[in-house]
Amino acid sequence: MKKWVYLFSEGNATMRNLLGGKGANLAEMTNIGLPVPQGFIITTEACTQYYEDGRQINDEIMKQVMEYVAKIEEINGKKFGSLENPLLVSVRSGARASMPGMMDTILNLGLNDDVVASMIKNNPDPKFERFVYDSYRRFIQMFSDVVMEVGKKYFEQLIDQMKEKKGVKFDVELTAADLKELAEQFKAEYKAQLGEDFPSDPIVQLKEAIKAVFRSWDNPRANVYRRDNDIPYSWGTAVSVMPMVFGNLNENSGTGVAFTRDPATGEKKLMGEFLTNAQGEDVVAGIRTPMPIAQMEEKFPAAYEDFVKVCALLEDHYRDMQDMEFTIENGKLYMLQCRNGKRTAQAALKIACDLVDEGMIDEKKAVSMIDPRNLDTLLHPQFDAAALKAATPLGKGLGASPGAACGKIVFTADDAVAWKARKEKVVLVRLETSPEDITGMKAAEGILTVRGGMTSHAAVVARGMGECCVSGCGDIKIDEEAKYFTLGGQTFHEGDFISIDGTTGNIYGGVIPTVDASISGYFGRIMGWADKYRTLKVRTNADTPRDARKARELGAEGIGLTRTEHMFFEATRIAAFREMICAETKEEREVALAKIQPYQQDDFEKLYEALEGTPVTIRLLDPPLHEFVPNTEEEMALLAKNTGRSIEYIHNLVSSLHEVNPMMGHRGCRLAVTYPEIAVMQTRAIIRAAIKVQQNHPEWTMCPEIMIPLTSELKEFVYVKKFVVETAEEELAAAGVKIPYQVGTMIEIPRACLTADEIAKEADFFCFGTNDLTQMTYGFSRDDAGKFLGYYYDAKILENDPFARLDRNGVGKLMKMTIDLGKPVNPALHVGICGEHGGDPSSIEFCNEIGLDYVSCSPFRVPIARLAAAQAAIAAEAAKEAAEKEEAEQFQAEVERKVEAAKAALKDAGEKFSSAAMDAGAELKDFLSAGVKSLVAGWEEVKKTFGEQRNK
């Protein structure tokens, strides 16, 4: 029978894929002797089976679950469902990858009316009675919300009504009688919503809770988080079932969340928050504002001393900053979770460098432990220092996630999404955020909350997303329904501008200007290590000198794509280009193009200068001509006047250029086939610019790369290449200089992949344009796919947007085929990628795997690509070493098997010889002969085996 369930003592940290991150770490903490309530883990494979069985837990899995319930009953000395000594448990999710707040947890499971009455009967202390009813009302609310999907708002309203009725502000001020009444109200609300009584059977509660955790793997917020963080749906989640320890037992109990280093700055200090007489949800939900972890020493000195030791032990064990959840019950410390903590990009760089300096990790580990996507936050604007100095904060919260955000105020996640869709920048202002707000948090420039601390939902999720967040500004008086709040004597309504500083926690009215971020120090060290270990080159996609300079500053080693068409839209050029479109003869087109050529040459000179002699790939004109024609009557009239044509002629021209499917129409190299003079003009500008820059910088080695777009056929490529080469040679001869240049093609059409061995005979390089290659392979319009891809995600047909994350199974196979066909034909062929995928870490990993020479991405993603390329190289090296080790171990095992076989043969022969020697007669001679032959054969086998080992 397959093993679906493991005790904590049966697992370890290496079993993350099977036990999930939370379960594997609970097992590891158990192994190293930390105080962990002993429970069990239902595997990720059980989650997958749950979905395969039509979202049901089959009998085999449930049987094992109940067997393990019996085991933890024995370990903990309590009985599940017992009235005398009841075992209460928590049921928690835990995927391989950390997904904070995305899935569900149920606490205090096992309570019912009878258990509650028995517990109170056995302990007449009024404070204990309050604790029991507090736990019961929490369980009813959580079970109703998480398991039965009754909105928690109904229960929160009842709590607020009770507090108002009793004249108190906090839940902890409610008495045992108040909480008992609440529990009854909660059960009544449950029945009103669902038409049935709250389940009292603990086994039913447990089964439904496990199903709810499995189900939460597929909830909307988890699906969004997985897509954003490249977590496959197929992984599933494990479920941890753990005996409850109660931070809400009394004033000598509490709960908290802590980090071994500051997750916002990376400073090496214990940082966190705790609450007395509370359960874990109270800390992260922001219902009560928690106290700093340092104050725990005053309240629980012995437990605090133990906790500090645990923190040091865990960081030393995992060699990384740890995020921990703990509970203190009657003064005793219990560890409920540990994981490598989420952190800001600034903190990640500092922590990695500090760990290297402390001798905890090496450079490769430091490079590998940083999420490349988080570097994005380092490179985005911060508030202008002068403007910030002149501004006066209206209020201050906690700087929960660094950065600067400015935008119009919205009060709901849905509004944030809707306003962003109409190009509005917004700041999401909430009393407190919850996991349901994830889409709105993504859409917003920043997040501001009234409640919550540094470990609240808003803070943790914002840090993980790299988004600016200020939390816990208690001075804000907010009315979310009326959509306004007051702060610092001012009232802000929906649509008003606000600026927030996620580093200081300051809040400002109006707009504060921003400036580009500056990077140095730890960033430079990490990037230096990344460059040391990566094998992929990193270029940039840049169309302007400004972009090129920024990319070079951020470490770009050349330009992988310059889109020349972007240069045509400036007012001084578009008129001439429209003249070219209107021309009826080649000569007229050449006259118009001659007006543009000096501008193009100047553009290219500035790009070459910015890139300082590194490779520059310039793509010839790609878009269809209809993108350049006038759209208004005024523009058409002006074009008619400038070209001496009638308005009717211009109207007919614009109409004739319309295409049913322009992305697959008259564009790319097809334009150059139809109008070679365009390619001639651009080549002339490219070569003349290279000649001039080479003369100005003799220390550089200019080698422009001219890229012909949208090739699908060898003869098509050769036809256009002929004009490019003839023009380039003509220019070089006229200047009397020799400058190398290359002519290659953009691989964007599946047919080009299939015939890459033919095209490679003529091309100097290939560059994958994966935006169009994805479009052509899927048959999706990249401009329209967003309208229906959401349905594909919901139906689990696709897990990610293929235009954002490279499709390895389809597009990736075409890319690999292209390289496998092209390189043998042309060993000097260099191959890169310049689509949007060139800046996506998972896509970069694949590019490294199939042997690309470089990736090219937007300027601000260059550091991301450098780091991702290094991580890919380090991972590939580690995988190779692991494979070689496994192969060596298998060989050693085979050698040992053969030696043992030879020994056995020798022993057998010896025994037969001894036996036969005791018998007299004619058979002795024959047997002796056979024995000798057997000995010789055995010896030859031994010699052969050791010979193979020596050769290996």
Q: State whether residue 857 is helix, strand or coil.
A: strand
- The residue with tokens 């702060």 is 487
CB proximity list for 248: less than 8 A, separation 6 or greater: 131, 134, 135, 138, 255, 277, 278, 279
As given in the structure block, the two tokens for residue 563 are 């889109």
Pairing status of strand 382-383 against strand 477-479 = unpaired
- Single out the residue of 66, 28, 69, 64 nearest to residue 43, CA to CA: 64
How many C-beta atoms lie closer than 10 Å to residue 747's C-beta? 30
Task: Based on the residue annotation, tell me whether 338 is a catalytic residue of this protein.
Answer: no
Distance CA 664, CA 935 (A): 76
Q: Which tokens is 159 given? A: 């709590």
Nearest to 670 by CA among 715, 727, 631: 715
* Total residues found in the chain within this entry: 952
Judge whether 746 and 767 are in contact, CB under 8 Å. yes
What DSSP string describes 2-58? ---EEEGGG--GGGHHHHHHHHHHHHHHHHTT------EEE-HHHHHHHHHTTS---
Query: Rounded CA gap, 183 and 204, in Å?
Result: 19
DSSP string, 687-704: HHHHHHHHHH-TTS----
What single-letter amino acid sits at 949?
Answer: Q
Residue 136 is inside which H or E element, if any?
Answer: helix 126-142
Q: Which of 47, 311, 353, 457 is catalytic?
A: 457
- CB count, 10 Å around CB of 770? 28
HSE (side-chain half, CA atoms, 13 Å) at 128: 11
Decide if 469 is catalytic: no
**Nearest-angstrom CA–CA distance, 788 and 153:** 32
Query: Cα–chain-centroid distance for residue 517?
Result: 22
Longest dimension (CA), the chain: 126
| Dist CA 60 CA 55 (whole Å) | 15
CA dihedral 451, 456, 458, 459 (to 10 degrees): 110
For residues 763 and 725, the answer to whether their CB atoms sit within 8 Å is no
Confirm if 563 and 622 have CB atoms less than 8 A apart.
yes
Enter the DSSP assignment of 477. E
What does the buried/exposed string (b/e) look like for 90-112 if buried means 16 or more CB atoms within 10 Å of the residue's CB? bbbbbbbebbbbbbbbbbbbbbb
**CA Rg value for the chain:** 35
What is the tally of helices (H) and strands (E) in the chain? 35, 31
Torsion of Cα atoms, 244 then 246 then 248 then 250, to 10°? 150
446-449 and 426-430 beta bridge pairing:
parallel
Q: Which residue in 338, 753, 834, 857 is the catalytic one?
A: 834
**Any idea which residues carry the catalytic annotation?**
457, 834
